[in-house]
Structure 1
Amino acid sequence: MRKLFILLMLLPFLGFAQQKGIRFENDLSWAQIQAKAKAENKFIFVDCFTTWCGPCKYMTNNVFPQEIMGDYFNDKFINVQVQMDKTEGDNDYVKSWYEDAAGIEKEYAIRAYPTFLYFSPDGKIVHRVVGGGEAQDFIAKSAMALKPETQYYTLLAKYKEGNNKPEDLRRTALAAQAAGDMQNGSAIFSEYLDTQKDLYTKENIELLNSFTFSSKDKGFPIFLNEGKKVDAVLGEGKALAKVKSIAANEEIYPKMFGRNSTGDWAPVEAAMKEKYPQVAEELLAQTKTQYYMYKKDWPNFQTQILAYMNKYGQKASPEELNQFAWTVFENCPDMNCVKEALEWSKRSLAGKENPMFMDTYANILYKLGRKDEAIAVQEKAVKLSNGDKDLTATLNKMKNGEKTWE
């Protein structure tokens, strides 16, 4: 009996010792968190999450439990997770945070999840990180919260006090970007550009790439008209890819993929050819393919994808090749088109054994009647994926002579 009593007494301590990851306070109010941080002279780490956020769940399930995370955060921070949305299943503790969660969301303009806030021991906001990451990278980002020279809100305060030397502007703009504060970041970056006599240095082109999101940004004309200089720093085709992305987001997607789309390509084509003659033809061909895929208009999709791939297919990435090949496999009855898709799928595997891409290749072989080849490829895909259940199910269908498509 005495041994059992001692064991029961030790259980809470054993459980505590076995907790290797971040130790989150899950029974304290916001006021109590702040008081504890002040008493222990520790910074505060706040994980602002929602129940529907995939990256939030990844951090909670895969990153925060790691021993390296616990060693770092438990030593330096008082840690708390704050649920920012409301659900019917919320317990009393989550409900007790509703008011403070709403206040934090409003005061610190939280618009994306996960957002991580860092406070000094006296409760003053000093740093912010938007988006998760793997353990080592996230620790490096969080370490910036402990030093005044890298704390985002400290840098922003100094900027507002007139700290506007070029290097300070650059540092603060990048800190704003990492904090998800693009309104301040873009404004500060614009000030930085005004101090630069040469916009085409490696450093400045890399910064322009980070801060160019629309045709109104200062970097856009450079990507549009000075592509060779940009590509010399970022790599072949990067300038054109940036222009295409922005043109599609501004001129095509809202008009053709939105709720008010009329399905009329004529005015979109006219506007594209007038504004962006350098990229209009290729971008229209590409987005029309996406449009017919989105609309599930398979006859027009087949015509468009064959035309696009015939002219621009050499530029397609492995991901695009795989997507196009799979879409043809699933939806196009024309075996001549399926044969074309087989070649795209084969190209997607060049130099890399991706089990999901191999699954596409095997399925197309199977649909073309090349059963033995298909099974051999699918077996390899299953092995590389450590027995993925979906790939295994497809393999069994192939062996049994069953259709693997609808």
Structure 2
Amino acid sequence: MKNLLFIFGFLLSCYAPAQEIKWMSMNDALEAQKKEPKKIFMDVYTDWCGPCKLLDKKTFHNKDVVSYVNKNYYAVKFNAEGTEEIKYNDFTYTNPNYNPNRKGRNSQHFFANALKITGYPSMVFFDEKGNLIAPVVGYKTPQQLEIYLKMIHNNDYKKLTSTDAWQKYERSFVSTFEN
């Protein structure tokens, strides 16, 4: 009987769905903050961006990243060339120049422009009240993203007021995320 239970448990674990980040819209995250304040972690991507797809496949499916983001942040997936309406700081951001017939690059959403997004992918952090903290541009491995996730969640970024302070923090940081 014990062997049968072991085999059943093993088979169940093999076929259990992979853990995923619980993505939501920015509007939903801002609404959720009113009920339970939590920082926002936003993935800013485009459909044509190769590094964005790699980030999604490699980093955002890493079990440590998934677990940490789901526990500590509201996770937002935002297409920087999409058509979503975003209500932020008493303004509604849209993408009026979006061309649905265009292949490849399209016009940048006004919200991405307001966040001063200059490259893709970008990960943007907001505090518990929805205020912008900082964008992080470029593909990051789980271990490279970990320092930002933890530094911002723990409010350590508030103490890093110089390049020297950041470099010291970065040198002393010990990663615990696995590949």
TM interval, shorter chain, is 0.5 to 0.7
- Tell me the residue number matched to 2:29: 33
What are the superposed Cα offsets for residues 192-218 of structure 1, whole Å, 9 maximum, x if unpaired?
xxxxxxxxxxxxxxxxxxxxxxxxxxx
TM-score of the pair, normalised by structure 1: 0.30
Q: Given the alignment of the two structures, is residue 150 of structure 1 paired with residue 150 of structure 2, yes or no?
A: no
Query: Which of 94, 113, 138 in structure 2 is aligned with 1:99?
Result: 94
8 A contact 1:21–1:68 mirrored in 2: no
Q: Structure 1 residue 61: deviation in Å?
A: 1.7
Q: Structure 1 residue 19: deviation in Å?
A: 4.3
Aligned mates of 2:164, 2:61 — CA distance in 1? 32
TM-score of the pair, normalised by structure 2: 0.64
Q: Which runs of 5+ in 2 are unaligned?
A: 1-15, 87-92, 96-107, 168-179
Q: Structure 1 residue 95: deviation in Å?
A: 4.2
The SS at the match of 2:42 is: strand
Aligned mates of 2:164, 2:134 — CA distance in 1? 14
Q: Structure 1 residue 96: deviation in Å?
A: 4.3
Aligned mates of 1:31, 1:85 — CA distance in 2? 17
Q: Structure 1 residue 131: deviation in Å?
A: 1.2
Aligned mates of 1:43, 1:19 — CA distance in 2? 24
- Tell me the residue number matched to 2:77: 81
CA RMSD of aligned residues (A): 2.7
8 A contact 1:45–1:119 mirrored in 2: yes
Query: Which of 141, 157, 163 in structure 2 is aligned with 1:170?
Result: 163
* Structure of higher CA gyration radius: 1
Q: Structure 1 residue 38: deviation in Å?
A: 3.4
What are the superposed Cα offsets for residues 132-186 of structure 1, whole Å, 9 maximum, x if unpaired?
22112212222121243325xx85xxxxxxxxxxxx4334786xxxxxxxxxxxx
Q: Given the alignment of the two structures, is residue 134 of structure 1 paired with residue 141 of structure 2, yes or no?
A: yes
Aligned mates of 1:148, 1:63 — CA distance in 2? 22
Identity of aligned residues (%): 23
- Kindly provide the amino acid, as one letter, of the partner of residue 23 in structure 1: K
Q: Structure 1 residue 129: deviation in Å?
A: 1.2
- Kindly provide the amino acid, as one letter, of the partner of residue 70 in structure 1: V
Q: Given the alignment of the two structures, is residue 64 of structure 1 paired with residue 55 of structure 2, yes or no?
A: no
Aligned mates of 2:64, 2:20 — CA distance in 1? 7
- Tell me the residue number matched to 2:177: none
The SS at the match of 1:47 is: strand
Aligned mates of 2:64, 2:163 — CA distance in 1? 31
8 A contact 1:42–1:76 mirrored in 2: yes
Q: Which aligned segments of 4 or more residues in structure 1 are displaced greater than 3 angstroms? A: 94-98, 171-174
Aligned mates of 1:56, 1:129 — CA distance in 2? 13
- Tell me the residue number matched to 1:54: 50
Alpha-carbon spacing, 1:95–1:31, altered in 2? closer, same or farther (3 Å)? closer
The SS at the match of 2:116 is: coil
**Structure having the larger proportion of residues in strand:** 2
Q: Which runs of 5+ in 1 are unaligned?
A: 1-16, 87-93, 156-167, 175-406
Q: Structure 1 residue 85: deviation in Å?
A: 1.7
Aligned mates of 1:169, 1:133 — CA distance in 2? 22
Aligned mates of 2:148, 2:31 — CA distance in 1? 25
Aligned mates of 1:170, 1:96 — CA distance in 2? 36
- Tell me the residue number matched to 2:128: 121
- Tell me the residue number matched to 1:18: 17
Aligned residue runs from structure 1 range 209-358, under 5 A: none
- Kindly provide the amino acid, as one letter, of the partner of residue 134 in structure 2: H
Q: Structure 1 residue 62: deviation in Å?
A: 2.0
8 A contact 1:42–1:121 mirrored in 2: yes
- Tell me the residue number matched to 1:191: none
